[in-house]
Amino acid sequence: MKDLKKACQRVFDRVSKEKIRGELASYIPPLKKVDRNYFAVSLITVEGEEFHFGDYQERFSIQSISKLFVLAKLMSFVKDKSLWKRVGREPSGMAFNSLVQLEMEKGIPRNPFINSGALVTTDMLLTNLGKERALQNILDFIFASSGKHVRVNKEIAKAEQQTGFRNLSMAYLMKSFCNIESEVSDLFELYCNHCAISMSTQDLARASLIFANGGKNLKGDAILLPRQVKRINSILQTCGAYDDAGEIAYRVGLPVKSGVGGGVLAIFPRRFAVTVWSPPLNEHGTSVKGMKFLELLTTELGESVF
């Protein structure tokens, strides 16, 4: 593989000069106040090399990227049969907050990365760990993966609770199909809190390395089993960016998870984890500059998972 640091620098410099397109996530009030000029990149290899560019120490709301850590934590102690009985592993082909398929498919979400699927995995954490422990377990999992304590942005969590009526609708609809076991109010609070976790690209890259390194963190501690990582990465590839997943597979060629806070992470198994943050989003809720950076990086390197 070509010199990663030089390749990242060249691509970062090129994308930095491009005119910013896209819109901020205006339906969550604090997110529409974020400076649209922020741009950060962090890359960490399985050998422990780190490269950081731009605003990489600035914290941002990871939003739907938290769904990855919720799923990983759940898979670390819940049997596959119990998990996949309640949520699927197929691409949705629809927006991340669509209610249509839930009604048609009797309350079983297509995958754990759309909002309805993440509500189910969050419900499973809540019922297994209890209201007082569930959020702390997610934060502890991220700490074990990254070596860095992270926190919830309470302003954003509160705003999501005040405006997330569609997510509430999903939870109640799935409750009517007996696919939500906890109290919807408790579930909604936990869901909004983990979506409002605040991290920098540096923090996020370190936490994501386990998905590139067979489940091991930077210190070599096994956080997940290799077979669990393989399965998580496969779902990331097909479902991590919702109805933009096919386009991203075509353009980038890596498993990707996006969030409407402008963060994107990508995994190159056995090579590296890379995270990008730029708040303006495309029509699918994916960072415009994030996708451009990842596309140009794999093009520059001449390698992807395909």
pLDDT for residue 213: 98
Distance CA 198, CA 274 (A): 17
CATH class for the domain made up of 4-301? alpha beta
pLDDT for residue 94: 81
Distance CA 41, CA 81 (A): 37
| Residue 274 in tokens | 């890379």
Residue 96 has pLDDT above 90, yes or no: no
Q: What is the pLDDT of residues 149-190, one digit of tens each?
A: 999 999 999 999 999 999 999 999 999 999 999 999 999 999
Q: Name residue, tokens 């922020």.
A: 38
% pLDDT > 70, the chain: 99
Q: Residue 219: is it exposed, middle or buried by C-beta count within 10 angstroms (0-12/13-18/19+)?
A: exposed
pLDDT for residue 249: 93
The structural domains of the chain, with segments of one domain joined by +, span 4-301
Residue 2 has pLDDT above 80, yes or no: no
Backbone torsions φ then ψ of 44, nearest 5 degrees: -130, 130
| Whether 114 contacts 170, CB under 8 Å | no
pLDDT mean across residues, the chain: 95
Output the pTM of the full model: 0.96
Sheet holding 197-199, edge to edge: 60-61, 197-199, 151-152
Residue 219 has pLDDT above 80, yes or no: yes
Residue 248 has pLDDT above 80, yes or no: yes
The pLDDT-based confidence of 1 (bands split at 50, 70, 90) is low
Q: Which residues have a Cβ under 8 Å from the Cβ of 107 and sit 6 or more positions away?
A: 173, 174, 176, 177, 178, 179
Q: What is the DSSP string of 98-118?
A: --HHHHHTTT--S-TTSHHHH
pLDDT for residue 109: 96
Interval 120-143 mean pLDDT:
97
pLDDT for residue 245: 87
Residue 50 parent element (H or E)? strand 50-54
Half-sphere exposure of 197 (CA within 13 A, CB side): 32
